[in-house]
Structures are given as structure tokens and as C-alpha cells.
Amino acid sequence: MGLPALFPSFLSPLLSLPLLLLRSGLNYVLDGLVLIALLYAFLHRLGVSKRILIWWAERELSKIGNGALFTVGDAEVDLTTGHVVATDLVIHAPRRDEWIWDSPLIARLGKLDVSVNILSCVDYVGPALGFPCKDIHSVTAEDIQVFVEKRQNVFNFHLLDPSLDLPDPSSVIESIQESNISNKGAVSCLLPTSKSASMVIDPERSLPLVLEQKNAPAPKSLEAEAKANEIVNNLVGAVSSVGRAANEGGKQGLHLALMNQKEGFVSQLKEFQAKLGGGREESQQNGVRAGRGSPQLGGASRRPPLRKGELSLGNLAKDGAQVMRHLGKVVEQNVSNIKQQVDSFQKPPPKKDGWVNPAEDVRFRFGRITLRDMRIFTKDMIAMKNAGGGVGGSSARGMSMPDIFGDGGEQRLASSFDVSSPRVQRSPSTSGWSDPIHIRELAVSGAELCPPMTTRDECGLPEIGLKIEKVLDILLARLLAETAKSNTGRVLNNAFGEVFTWMELKR
């Protein structure tokens, strides 16, 4: 006698139906996975999957960089180990035609090697799995070139920050152009050479706009003030020309610049001696004639008054004292003007009103960051240079950068602008970029990338991870310290060259 049936016979088909549906669903899922695997293998073989991954990475980086163009030459991704290697990562200068950036790039990374925890870096997946922050074990960047330019108080990398309230580029460029036009009459080096060694004040040359007097001074005072201004201009021109020669031409350029300045001084002294000697001779001859014509005075008659244009030691001393009285005032007002202008250019653009960072609570935890073979190129930190390598023209033109990339080729990155022209025309030039600041290696450990012990979270516990802004601040501080330690001479040369060039522009 058999065992009684547990269920009636009419219930058996109803119970077997879910099993059939489950079996068929599993079959469809397995078939789909096999099809996806075959399709991925086919696309990977053709290189399409890599291009899709690179396109997705470029799009995400562009979102982070305020819409700037990011391009990746090649990339290798290992999802199992979280290892990513990217080559030729380029950050293009955003809105280049509007801001008249000379370099089309902001930065280029020859190789970027990153080791991450993939799950912690995926939005909504990491927090769901309990990761408090995005874990990045190691970041290594090699063969780096950074190009830094400035328009008034706006750097080219400021355009990568969506939180900054940037001014209208057309108004900035127009103000620079108007400033250059107003100083068009000023020459880049006022100390004459042996071919043009004249100390006569040119009435058509525009003088520095540094003295604004309410009451009209006497003609003698105006002449002394003009001479004091000329002395200051000559001093600034001499120092800036020598500084540029040393910065751009090395020892040979410095030697030539010093020889030119020496010839200028010698020629001026010769001219001064000739004028002084001529005045003495003329005065003595007048005295002899007067002595012969007046025997009762015994040849010791009083000299006649000097005619206009004659030079005497008494007049020279008197004029010199008057010029020196104005010289201190001119220097003081020039320095005050320069300080005000530089202070205004040092202020970064303000934040947008009511700006809320969408990634305010996102934190990162880095194991280490290493930068190797980094070169920083700077241009127009204080003043925009014109096409001829000087300053003060009605248009500014960018300069090329020789031997920037590792292949030794010259990358022509030249541009010229004219605000009145609807189309921007670019043309090559040969100077303008300062010599690069070279950082051989910058290594930042995980201990430096941790939050301070004094910081606490909302629960009163030590914080875990840092915001990306804090990480960038730490990197910038270390970068400045390393630059000051290993590139002191280069930084000073570049800085003084920019300062004196800007002083010439503002004369």
C-alpha cells in the first residue's frame, strides 16, 4: 500500500508553474550574461569599450571642471584591483578666445597612475556598503607641464572653479587695452645707448601719471618735477632691461645689457662735460674781454650774466637741489601707485552669491600623492606683453614656448588680439614665457593628507577623510615650499622680471 498523496492531483500543476517560471528566468539571465560577455569581448578587441570608458571619464571630468575640455590619450583599467593608468591627460584652457589665453592648455600629465577602491568611489554604492569616504590608495603623476596665465586678477585655472564669480572677459580685455594705449608713448628702456645719448626731455613723451597737484606750480617746479620723473623712469627702465636680459639671455645677454647701459652712462657724462666745459670757456673769454675793456678794474671785472642755455656750476647745483626735492615725492607716489595696483591684482575673484557646493559632504582619504618631473610655465603674471616683447602697446600678443614637451619639439602657442576686431587672429612670436620652474619630485604622505586631530565631526569624534578643497590646499602649500627650496633663483628671476615689466607698463 503506497503513501497517501500530500496534495491533491489538481494542485500539482499550480505548484510546478512557479518553478518553471524561475527556471526560464534563470535561463534568460544566463543567456543575457553570455551575450553581454561576448559583446564586451568583441568591443574590447576592437578598442570600442576603451573609447567608451575614456569618453565617460572625459565627460565626468568636464562636469567637475566647470565645463572645461578634458582629453585622455589612452587609459588602462583593471576593475578587479582598482588600478587605473591614463596617459596624455590634457586640461584645455576654457574660453580661450574670450580671455585671449596664449596657451591652449592649462596642464598636461604625461602619465597618471591611480589605485582606488572601486566600490567606495561609486556614488550611492559606497555609502550603501558603509564606506565613509572615497578611498584612493595611491596617486602618481609624471611628466607634468602647467601653464599659468593671468588677466588682471583672473588666472586661467580660475575658470575651472564653478563657484567663482568671474568678470566679463570683454570688459577685462578692453580695460587692459585702454591701459596699454594710455601708456603707448612710454618706451621700454629709457636709458640711452651710445647711439642716442641725449638727456633732453622730449615734450611729446608721456610722463608718468603719478603727481596730481591741485594748484599749478611754477615753470621751474614743473621742469624739476619732469626731470625727477625722468630719473625714476630711467632707473626703472635700466633695472628692468637688465633683469629681462639676465632672465632671457643668461650670462651673455646680461653682459650685453650691462655694456649697453655702461655706454649710455659714459656718453651722458661726455655730453655733460662738453656742456660744462663750453660754459666755462665762454665765461672765461667774456671775463677776459671785459677786463681788457676796463683797465681800472685790473682785469678782474664781474662776469656778465649767463645767457639762456649756458651751464654753470651754480645753476647746476641749484637745479640739482630742486630736482632732488621732487625726486623723493615722485618715488613715494610711484611706489604707492604700484602697491595699490598690485594689491588689487592679488585679490582673487569672489564667490558667487548663494553658491551651494553639490559635493559639499563628499570626502576623500588618500594614501599618498606623488608628482614627478613637473614644470610650471608662467606668463603675464602682472602685465600683458605685446608682440615685440615689450609692454605698453595697443594690442597684446602671446608668445611661443620652446621645448615644452619631452620630444624637444617647439610647440607654437601664439595669439594676438584686437578688441575692435570681431575675429581673433593668432600669430607666432618668440618670447614672453618665463623659464620653467622645475620640480623633480613632490611626495605627500598619508599622514599629511589626514584631517587635524583638533577637528571633530557632528558626533564629537575625529573626522575621517578630507574635502577635496583641503587636499588641494595641502598640495599647494607643499608645492610652494618645494619651489622655494629648489627653485629660489628661478622664482626670483621670474618674479622680478614680471614686476619691472609691469612697472614699465604703468609708467
Highest mean pLDDT among 345-354, 360-369, 491-500: 360-369
Pairing of strands 134-151, 105-116: antiparallel
**How does pLDDT run across 160-173, given as a tens digit for each residue?**
988 888 888 888 88
Q: What's the one-letter identity of residue 250? A: G
As a whole number of Å, the CA-based R_g of the chain is 36
pLDDT band at 493 (very low <50, low <70, confident <90, very high): low
Highest mean pLDDT among 85-89, 338-342, 357-361, 412-416: 85-89
Query: Could you say which DSSP state residue 359 is in?
Result: T
CB within 8 Å of 228: residues ≥ 6 apart: 323, 324, 326, 327, 329, 330
Residue in the structure block whose three cell numbers are 646680461: 254
User: What pLDDT is attached to residue 142?
Assistant: 95
What is the rounded CA–CA span in Å between residue 185 and residue 467? 51
According to the model, what pLDDT value does residue 69 have?
Answer: 94
Q: Residue 156: is its pLDDT beyond 70?
A: yes
- pLDDT score at 381: 62
Q: Encode pLDDT of 445-457 as tens digits.
A: 989 998 888 888 8
Tell me the C-alpha distance between 475 and 139, whole Å. 12
Per-residue burial over 452-481, b if 16 or more Cβ lie within 10 Å, else e, is eeeeeeeeeeebebbbeebbeebbeebbee
CB of 228 within 8 A of CB of 208? no
Alpha helices per DSSP H over 84-137? 96-99, 118-121, 125-128
| C-alpha pair distances (Å), 438 with each of 126, 247, 377, 399 | 38, 15, 9, 20
Sign of the alpha-carbon dihedral angle for 494, 197, 199, 314 = positive
Residue 197 has pLDDT above 60, yes or no: no
Q: What does each C-alpha distance from 15 to 3, 4, 23 come to in angstroms?
A: 20, 18, 13
**Mean pLDDT lowest for which of 53-57, 244-248, 281-285, 420-424?**
420-424
DSSP codes, 387-427: TTSSS--SS-B---BTT-STT---B----B--TTSSS----
Cell triple for 138: 595611491
Grid coordinates given for 280:
666755462
Report the distance separating Cα 397 and Cα 254, nearest Å.
Answer: 25
State yes or no: pLDDT of 270 exceeds 80.
no
Q: Which of 98, 208, 108 is CA-nearest to residue 151?
A: 98
- C-alpha 375/C-alpha 107 separation (Å) is 10
Residue 406 has pLDDT above 60, yes or no: no
Whole-number average pLDDT of the chain: 69
- How confident is residue 407, by pLDDT bands cut at 50, 70 and 90? very low
pLDDT over 80 (residue 133) = yes
C-alpha cell at 392: 605698453
Look at residue 382 and tell me whether its pLDDT is greater than 80: no
Beta bridge partners of 111: 87, 142
Whole-number pLDDT of residue 454: 85
Amino acid occupying residue 108: R
